[in-house]
Amino acid sequence: MKKLKLVALGLLIASSYNCKDFKQGYKDGMKDAEEEVNETAKESKEEVAVETIKFMMEPKSESNVKGEVTFTEEGGTVSMVAMLSGLSEGEHAIHIHDKADCSSADGKSTGGHWNPTGTPHGKWGAAEGYHKGDIGNFMADAEGNAKVEFATDQWCIGCDDENKNIVGKGVIVHQGVDDFTSQPSGAAGARVSCAGIIQ
């Protein structure tokens, strides 16, 4: 009888140990599953954070300059790529102007340079100051084509910071070159292509 009791106790201990083991194993499994869910949520959140907007650039001031401009925001940086054709060979200026309104034939409906910080016109990054729209100059090849690339963490697409938000502004390509010193716009000449940044 005593022997039987001992065996029963032994079984009880063994089974409770197994049960605890199983529970621990189950818990670990749950933890893995939770981590997996968190990882998936994180990945999809990052995917949502990439935003791309694209616009056609239309000829202005009786030019043939057209193309498209794309803005992509990822990880706090906005990248701009403009693909242009119909330019004269050589250097031209490109800026972001104050309004998304390309309705006028000369592109002046976009207003002056986008300048939310009230600083002088200048070369991007200059210590003396520069406009948030002062992208600068680029080169067109002998066929009149150009690819303009620019990236900055000082812009955003549709955020609440009006010192950074490019939505509601306009992209202007000029016939001439930005001298980075003439105020308020670098004496870059006629506005030959325009796109409104409208979300």
Instruction: Return the one option of Cu ion, Zn ion, none that residue 121 interacts with (CB less than 5 to 8 A, by type).
Output: Zn ion
The closest of 107, 83, 69 to 194, measured between CA atoms, is 107
What span, in angstroms and rounded, lies between the C-alpha atoms of 22 and 18? Answer: 6
60 touches Cu ion by CB under 5 A: no
DSSP designation for 50: -
Task: Give the residue with the Cβ less far from Cu ion, 111 or 159.
Answer: 111
Does the footprint of Zn ion cover residue 131 (CB under 5 A)?
yes
Query: Which is closer to Zn ion, CB of 66 or CB of 137?
Result: 137
What single-letter DSSP state applies at residue 109? G
- Selection from Zn ion, Cu ion, none that 172 binds (CB < 5 to 8 A by kind) is Cu ion
Strand partners, 151: 79
In the complex with Cu ion, the residue whose CB is nearer, 69 or 172, is: 172
Question: What is the rounded CA–CA span in Å between residue 14 and residue 10?
Answer: 6
Considering only the stretches 12-20, 73-81, 126-134, 153-161, report the one whose residues sit in contact with Zn ion under the rule CB under 5 A: 126-134
The span from the CA of 129 to the CA of 139, in Å, is 24
Q: Give residue 120's Cα distance to chain centre.
A: 25
The pattern of x and - marking residues 74 through 113 that bind Zn ion according to CB under 5 A reads ---------------------------------------x
Report the alpha-carbon distance of residue 153 to residue 164 in Å, rounded: 9
Contact 128, 122 (CB under 8 A): yes
Site for Cu ion in 83-122 (CB under 5 A): 95
- Of 172, 173, 192, 195, which one interacts with Cu ion (CB under 5 A)? 172
Q: Among Cu ion, Zn ion, none, what does residue 164 contact (CB within 5–8 Å per kind)?
A: none
Point out which residues bind Cu ion (CB under 5 A): 95, 172
Point out which residues bind Zn ion (CB under 5 A): 113, 121, 131, 134
